[in-house]
Structure formats: structure tokens, C-alpha cells
């Protein structure tokens, strides 16, 4: 009986089961893979910045080697953060209306300002104050085009007197302090874009922004671990283990908090079992089975917890090579897991009808604006920008955390 | 000659630049607001939005599911072919419970083939097994606190003072946020204009004293439309309000719809 009835719907609306509002079939899903990438990239920005601020604000000296790398990572991803949104608009040529004539009750409009604030007032300025003295030095000794770039970035401020350098330091610290709430605001606001949709029981939730912030911190630290290890491998340098272990420690604790809050969210949803809960169960059991249970929970949370947790207790007993591999694979798994989490939120929220009577399918296409090919391009772009920035602005010799490698220590002993 | 820099001069130049920027933004906001009321609506110049308050009511008991309203709407407003609807009809079939199941009713079946535009095929549930069967016309719920207006990043969609929720197609950036925010599935992204579209209550008609196309064509007067500010005691909308207890869709969301239904069942969402 149900099948016959369903068939009537299927004739008109392919890839649907049960009843969905007719308009929900028109462009499905409205927000595709690009909008999955948008919170992912923004989260990496915020997370990498928090990582950098650990050095500046919280004085975690062990992380000194990755301070500038984290800032550059954050910056290069921030430059690309709005691209997925822009590609997705029906009228991209009108995008500046968001800034020129914003509608102040809209989370999306406010995001434009939060983004601009973060890019212009926080990240660019902090990078500039941090680099100014170096830029002046480099401009003196570097010939050719590269020298011109360095000179241009000094913006003519070449004062290297101790008071000027002290002012740089002070401004950098102030900007870092301002930057932490700004990073929270940036990504919390992305979470709010989804959390504010009360029409959608999958999204409309007070915890959504908080979960977005926490998963952003986790993914940002994981990205810094990934970038740092890849960079040292490319440059054939040794990994500073004290720095890496400290990153792994912060990664682990951030992941514990993130997993706890996400678990709490699900506990609450299951316990309250409000109107849309039966549809959500179908999502978990069928529609999002692989990306949620395998991607987000197993690969993105449980396995990294199992790898990083014991490392916190038995760090000294695990050889450095094994530790490096464990931490690197945890970082990669977390990066995959958080991408899966963004997928589950964005795509998952559109796989059921707001009538709560039907579910829909989604097949990611290869080409086109919503295809995965453009997604891969957009996801590679920040890495390309980062490569250029690292070439220009990251010295071959990273600052040391004062760690003595295990092999040489053993040799000396 | 040496250029003279003074703090006052620098500050006044900076102030001038900031003021200029702020004025630019404000000017564009005003222009947009004017545009919204006069360009997008298609209303005649002498129409005063503050002197009307439109209300739509639907008597579910009267709808026969003929689909003429859907067709009329598509033609009147040039709604694109395919699964794009400003109004549509849902059919609810609630079978009798299986004997001894301890249930009040069987599992509800809902469908809306092609928005109900060409009527409905025979129900697959045999006639003697049906407990209730009815049609529910759907359209913009004319929310008092419309979530779609709240989330629009550029203010392209707005509440007109007369109660209609309208979109300025020259201004909409096509982000789809309003479509996500509408709890009732009443909006869609037009494949033609790449902007959001929805029921306007046939704004070009009602501002000239006509009824919306769907109301005009309904053969059973299941749709009742009127102006609360100008309705006399015998106006259909007043009579409907007097004779029925009304309900709205998804009241728990606090959107306060002004699309009122009489004769709804709990299964309708």
C-alpha cells in the first residue's frame, strides 16, 4: 500500500521516499558540496589562529616553531573562505550588497562584517606587526623582485629602533587577545547561520554554534600538525618533538571537549525526541550511515582519541618515529572526520523534507558548480597560497622549542 | 614649499572619508527601501500599503482537489515549468486502523503529484478502508514573524505593511537562505531568474482591487481572501472567522501565520 502510494510521488520527484513538499524537489539539495566546504575552511581558519594564539597569549613556548606557520595557514585559508559561498550564489555580481546594504537581522549579513573584521583588523594587522622588523631586514638584503615585495609590505615603516620593535610586540599581543574572541565569533557565527534555522530540526539548535567552534579548534590544530610535518618533510628537517608532542596534547584535549559536547547534543536530541526525531533516526541509520558513523564518529573521533590518549600517558615509552606516525595519522583522520561532520550537518539537514514525512537522496556530481571537482580545486587553493606564503615569509630555520632529539640525547648519554 | 601636516587637518580628512563612506551606505539603503515598495511590488502608484491588511483563510472541508488554483497561479504569475509552485494541494488519506491493532488510525499517506495541478489519481487505499481523506491547499503562510525575512542577508525579501511578504528580484542575490528558513516549503529558487520566488498574493491584482488568481478560480470557495482593515460585517472573511475555529500550520515555531485554516487534522504539517 505504502509502495503504491509512494510511486505516485516518485513519478514526479525522483530520488525521494515518502512525501516531500513539491518545492523541495526543485533544486536538490539547495546547498551542496560548496557549502560543506565553507564551514570547513572557516573552521580551519579559526582553529589555526587559536593555535597561534597559544604561543602569543598563553605563552606556550614549546609551540614557538609553528607560530608563524599557524598564522600563515590561518591567513591563506581565510582568503579562500568566502569563495565557496560566492560560487554558489544565484547572482554573484550582487555579493557586495551584503556589505553595502546589509539586513541586520540576518546571520549571513553579519558574517560579512565579522569576516571583514577578522581579515582586516585582526589577521592582516597581526601578521604585519609580527613580520615588520623581519620585512625591513629582508628588504635590505634581498635583491630583485622578492626584495621589492618585502619593501612594499613594510608600507614604508622602516623604523627599527628598540621602542618601535617593542611597540610591534605590544600590538601583536593586543591583536592576539582581540583575535581569540574574534576567531570564536567568526566560526561561532558560521554555526549560527545553521543554528538559527528553526524550521530545520537538524540545524536549529543552541548547541550548533558551540559545536562548530569546538570542531573548528580541533580541525585547525590538526591542520597545523599536518602542515608542520609536511613542511619539515619537504625541507628535510627534523621534527621538533617537544613542539609536536605539545600540539598533540592540545589536539587531544580539544578533541575530548568537542566529542563530549557533541555527545551531549545527541544525548539531548535522543532524550527529548522532539517532532523530527524519527526522521533523524532514518538519517543516522540509512542516509548518513557512512559519513556519520564511519567518517565523523569512528575516523574523526574514536580512532584519534585512541591514538592520542595513550600518548599523553606513555609519551616517554613510545619511540619518536612511532609517535610522529601516530600523531600524523591522527591529524589526517581528524581532518577527514571534521569534513565528514560538515557534510553531515549541511547535506544531512537537507536530506529530509521539512514536512518530516519523507527523505531524499543526494549524489555528488563530478562537474558543475556543485560538483566535487570544483570542491577539490577550492580546497587546494589555500594550500597553493600557503606554499607561496611559506616560500616568501617562513625562514628555512624555524625557531626552536629547545628540544634535544632523542637519538642525539641517547648518543650523549 | 614644505607641506604642512597638522593633526587637525589629518583628522578632518579622515572624518570626511568615513562620513562619505557611511553616507554612501545609507544612501543605498534608502534607495533599496524605495525600490522595494515601488519597483518590486508591481503596485499602482496610488496604492497605500498602510491602509490594507490582507488575510487568507482556507476551508479544508470545501477543497475538492481539482487543482485549478495551482494551474491558475502558474499561468498568472509565470511560474516556471516543473517542480516549482507558489501554491499547491496536498492529499491526505488516513486509512482505518487494522482490527485489534489498538490504534486510532492507520498510517497516513500524503501525496501531491505535480503539486496537484491536474487533480489526483484514484487513491490506492480501497474506499471502504479509508477513515478520512481530504485536500489541503498550501501557499505562503504570511507569517507575522517571518523567518524568511529575518534571514535575508540583503533585505531583498520584506514584509509589506499590508501583510504580504514580497521579494525584490532585482536585489535578491540568490543565496537560498530564505528557502532554508521557510518552515512550510513555500519558496523556491527560480531556474529562470536565479532568485528566490514565492506567493505574492498576486500583488499586482490585489493592489488593483482584484482577488488573487487562486481565490478567483476556486469553484468551491475553499479559499477566502479579504482586507481586514476594510472588511464590513458581512465580508466573507469576517463571516468565515465568525463561523469557524481556525488553526495555523506549525504553531510551535512562533511564526504567527496569517494563513488560517478551518478543519485541519493533526497529521497536516
**What pLDDT does B210 receive?**
95
Q: B194 and A90 in contact by Cβ < 8 A?
A: yes
Least confident of A6-10, A148-152, A196-200, A206-210: A6-10
The beta-carbon neighbor of A197 closest among B112, B180, B187 is B180
Q: Is B8 left (phi over 0), alpha (psi -120 to 50) or beta?
A: alpha
Q: What is the ipTM of this complex?
A: 0.88
Cβ contacts of residue A335 below 8 Å, gap of 6+?
Answer: A219, A222, A223, A226
> Is the CA virtual torsion A15, A354, B219, B60 positive or negative?
positive
Q: A103 and B153 in contact by Cβ < 8 A?
A: yes
Q: B173 and A94 in contact by Cβ < 8 A?
A: yes
Cα of A322 vs its chain's centroid, Å? 26
Residue numbers of B between 179 and 218 with CB closer than 8 Å to A: 179-189, 191, 193-195
Residue numbers of B between 42 and 101 with CB closer than 8 Å to A: 82-85, 88, 90, 93, 95
**What pLDDT does A11 receive?**
40
3-state secondary structure chain A: CHHHHHHHHHHHCCCEEECCCHHHHCCCCCCCHHHHHHHHHHHHHHHHHHHHHHHHCCCCHHHHHHHHHHHHHHHHHHHHCCHHHHHHCCCHHHCCHHHHCCCCCCHHHHHHHHHHHHHHHHHHHHHHHHHHHHHHHHHHHCCHHHHHHHHHHHCCCCCCCHHHHHHHHHHHHHHHHHHHHHHHHHHHHHHHHHHCCCCCCCCCCCCHHHHHHHHHHHHHHHHHHHHHHHHHHHCCCCCCHHHHHHHHHHHHHHHHHHHHHHHHHHHHHHHHCCCCHHHHHHHHHHHCHHHHHHHHHHHHHHHHHHHHHHHHHHHHHCCHHHHHHHHHHHHHHHHHHHHHHHHHHHCHHHCECCCCCEEECCCCCCCCCCCHHHHHHHHHHHHHHHHHHHHHHCCCCCCCCCCCCHHHHHHHC
A23 touches chain B (CB under 8 A): yes
Distance, in Å, from the CA atom of A301 to the CA atom of A295, rounded to the nearest integer, reads 9
Residues forming a β-bridge with A358: A18
A17 touches chain B (CB under 8 A): no
**What pLDDT does A229 receive?**
96
**What pLDDT does B173 receive?**
95
Distance, in Å, from the CA atom of A395 to the CA atom of A139, rounded to the nearest integer, reads 14
Residues A255 and A305 sit within 8 Å (Cβ to Cβ): yes
**What pLDDT does B16 receive?**
83
Distance, in Å, from the CA atom of B35 to the CA atom of A110, rounded to the nearest integer, reads 23
Residues B233 and B120 sit within 8 Å (Cβ to Cβ): no
* Domains in chain A, CATH or no CATH each: 31-396 (1.20.1630.10)
Condensed to tens digits (0 to 9), the pLDDT of residues B25-70 reads: 677 667 666 655 555 567 888 899 999 999 999 999 999 999 999 9
Residues A167 and A182 sit within 8 Å (Cβ to Cβ): no
**Other Cβ atoms closer than 10 A to B162:** 23
Residue A167 pLDDT exceeds 70: yes
**What pLDDT does A245 receive?**
95
Residue A160 pLDDT exceeds 60: yes
Overall average pLDDT of the A155-166 stretch:
89
Distance, in Å, from the CA atom of A140 to the CA atom of A134, rounded to the nearest integer, reads 10
**What pLDDT does A3 receive?**
41
Distance, in Å, from the CA atom of B47 to the CA atom of B41, rounded to the nearest integer, reads 11
Residue A36 pLDDT exceeds 90: yes
**What pLDDT does A29 receive?**
82
A200 touches chain B (CB under 8 A): yes
Q: B180 and A198 in contact by Cβ < 8 A?
A: no
Average pLDDT, chain A: 89
**What pLDDT does A9 receive?**
43
Q: B83 and A22 in contact by Cβ < 8 A?
A: yes
Confidence band for A321, pLDDT divided at 50, 70 and 90? very high
Residue A8 pLDDT exceeds 80: no
Residue A5 pLDDT exceeds 60: no
Residue A398 pLDDT exceeds 60: yes
Overall average pLDDT of the A349-375 stretch:
86
C-alpha cell at A370: 556543485
C-alpha cell at A365: 556530481
Confidence band for B13, pLDDT divided at 50, 70 and 90? confident
Condensed to tens digits (0 to 9), the pLDDT of residues A174-213 reads: 998 999 999 888 888 899 999 999 999 999 988 999 999 9
Residue A129 pLDDT exceeds 70: yes
Per the model's pLDDT, the better-predicted residue between B224 and B14 turns out to be: B224
Per the model's pLDDT, the better-predicted residue between A157 and A326 turns out to be: A326
Distance, in Å, from the CA atom of A179 to the CA atom of A305, rounded to the nearest integer, reads 28
**Listed residue (B34, B32, B198) closest to A96, CA to CA:** B32
Overall average pLDDT of the B8-20 stretch:
80
Overall average pLDDT of the A100-108 stretch:
90
Condensed to tens digits (0 to 9), the pLDDT of residues B175-217 reads: 999 999 999 999 999 999 999 999 999 999 999 999 999 999 9
Q: Is B126 helix (H, G, I), strand (E, B) or coil?
A: coil
Condensed to tens digits (0 to 9), the pLDDT of residues B71-126 reads: 999 999 999 998 999 999 999 999 999 998 899 999 999 999 999 999 999 998 99
**What pLDDT does A411 receive?**
36
Residue numbers of A between 60 and 119 with CB closer than 8 Å to B: 85, 88-92, 94-95, 97-98, 100-103, 105-109, 112
C-alpha cell at B181: 528558513
Amino acid at each position: 500500500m505504502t509502495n503504491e502510494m509512494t510511486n505516485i510521488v516518485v513519478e514526479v520527484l525522483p530520488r525521494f521516499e515518502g512525501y516531500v513538499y513539491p518545492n523541495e524537489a526543485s533544486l536538490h539539495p539547495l546547498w551542496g558540496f560548496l557549502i560543506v566546504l565553507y564551514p570547513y575552511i572557516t573552521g580551519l581558519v579559526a582553529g589555526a589562529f587559536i593555535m597561534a594564539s597559544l604561543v602569543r597569549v598563553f605563552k606556550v613556548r614549546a609551540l614557538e616553531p609553528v607560530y608563524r606557520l599557524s598564522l600563515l595557514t590561518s591567513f591563506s585559508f581565510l582568503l579562500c573562505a568566502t569563495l565557496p559561498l560566492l560560487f554558489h550564489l544565484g547572482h554573484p555580481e550582487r555579493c557586495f550588497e551584503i556589505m553595502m546594504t546589509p539586513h541586520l537581522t540576518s546571520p549571513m549579513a553579519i558574517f560579512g562584517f565579522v569576516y571583514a573584521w577578522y581579515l582586516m583588523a585582526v589577521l592582516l594587522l597581526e601578521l604585519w606587526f609580527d613580520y615588520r622588523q623581519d620585512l625591513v631586514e629582508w628588504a635590505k638584503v634581498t635583491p630583485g623582485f622578492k626584495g621589492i615585495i618585502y619593501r612594499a609590505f613594510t608600507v614604508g615603516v622602516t623604523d627599527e629602533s628598540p621602542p618601535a620593535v617593542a611597540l610591534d610586540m605590544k600590538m601583536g599581543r593586543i591583536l592576539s587577545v582581540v583575535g581569540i574572541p574574534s576567531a570564536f565569533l567568526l566560526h561561532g557565527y558560521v554555526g549560527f547561520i545553521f543554528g538559527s534555522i528553526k524550521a530545520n530540526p537538524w540545524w536549529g539548535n543552541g548547541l550548533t554554534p558551540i559545536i562548530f567552534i569546538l570542531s573548528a579548534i580541533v580541525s585547525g590544530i590538526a591542520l597545523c600538525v599536518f602542515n608542520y610535518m609536511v613542511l619539515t618533510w619537504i625541507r628535510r628537517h627534523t621534527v621538533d618533538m617537544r613542539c609536536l608532542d605539545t600540539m598533540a596534547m592540545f589536539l587531544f584535549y580539544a578533541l575530548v571537549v568537542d566529542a563530549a559536547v557533541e555527545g551531549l547534543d545527541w544525548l539531548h536530541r535522543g532524550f527529548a525526541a522532539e517532532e523530527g526525531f524519527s526522521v533523524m533516526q532514518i538519517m543516522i541509520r540509512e542516509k548518513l550511515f557512512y559519513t556519520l558513523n564511519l567518517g565523523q564518529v569512528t575516523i574523526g573521533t574514536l580512532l584519534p582519541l585512541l591514538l592520542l590518549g595513550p600518548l599523553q600517558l606513555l609519551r616517554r615509552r613510545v619511540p619518536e618515529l612511532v609517535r610522529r606516525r601516530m600523531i600524523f595519522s591522527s591529524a589526517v583522520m581528524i581532518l577527514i572526520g571534521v569534513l565528514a561532520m560538515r557534510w553531515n550537518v549541511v547535506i544531512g539537514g537537507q536530506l529530509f523534507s521539512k514536512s518530516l514525512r519523507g527523505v531524499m537522496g543526494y549524489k555528488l556530481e563530478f562537474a558543475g558548480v556543485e560538483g566535487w571537482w570544483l570542491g577539490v580545486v577550492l580546497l587546494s587553493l589555500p594550500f597553493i597560497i600557503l606554499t607561496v606564503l611559506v616560500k616568501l615569509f617562513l625562514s628555512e630555520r624555524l625557531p626552536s622549542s629547545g628540544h634535544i632529539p632523542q637519538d642525539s640525547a641517547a648518543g650523549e648519554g | 614649499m614644505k607641506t604642512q601636516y597638522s593633526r587637525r587637518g589629518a583628522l578632518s580628512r579622515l572624518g570626511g572619508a568615513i562620513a562619505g563612506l557611511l553616507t554612501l551606505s545609507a544612501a543605498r539603503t534608502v534607495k533599496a527601501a524605495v525600490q522595494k515598495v515601488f519597483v518590486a511590488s508591481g503596485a499602482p502608484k496610488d496604492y497605500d500599503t498602510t491602509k490594507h491588511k490582507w488575510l487568507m483563510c482556507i476551508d479544508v472541508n470545501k477543497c475538492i482537489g481539482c487543482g485549478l488554483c495551482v494551474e491558475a497561479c502558474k499561468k498568472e504569475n509565470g511560474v516556471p515549468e516543473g517542480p516549482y509552485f507558489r501554491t499547491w494541494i496536498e492529499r491526505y488519506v488516513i486509512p482505518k486502523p487494522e482490527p485489534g491493532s489498538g490504534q486510532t488510525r492507520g498510517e497516513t499517506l500524503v501525496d501531491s503529484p505535480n503539486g496537484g495541478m491536474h487533480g489526483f489519481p484514484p487513491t490506492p487505499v480501497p474506499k471502504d478502508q479509508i477513515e478520512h481523506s481530504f485536500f489541503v491547499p498550501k501557499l505562503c503562510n504570511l507569517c507575522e514573524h517571518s523567518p524568511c525575512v529575518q534571514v535575508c542577508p540583503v533585505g531583498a525579501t520584506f514584509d509589506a505593511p499590508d501583510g504580504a511578504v514580497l521579494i525584490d528580484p532585482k536585489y535578491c542575490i540568490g543565496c537560498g537562505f530564505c528557502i532554508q528558513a521557510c518552515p512550510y516549503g513555500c519558496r523556491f529558487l527560480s531556474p529562470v531568474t536565479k532568485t528566490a520566488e514565492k506567493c505574492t498574493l498576486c500583488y499586482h491584482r490585489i493592489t488593483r482591487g482584484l482577488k488573487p488568481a487562486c481565490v478567483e478560480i476556486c469553484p468551491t470557495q475553499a479559499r477566502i481572501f479579504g482586507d481586514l482593515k476594510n472588511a464590513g460585517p458581512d465580508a466573507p472573511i469576517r463571516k468565515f472567522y465568525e463561523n469557524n475555529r481556525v488553526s495555523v500550520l506549525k504553531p510551535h515555531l512562533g511564526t504567527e501565520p496569517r494563513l488560517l485554516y478551518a478543519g485541519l487534522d493533526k497529521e497536516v504539517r
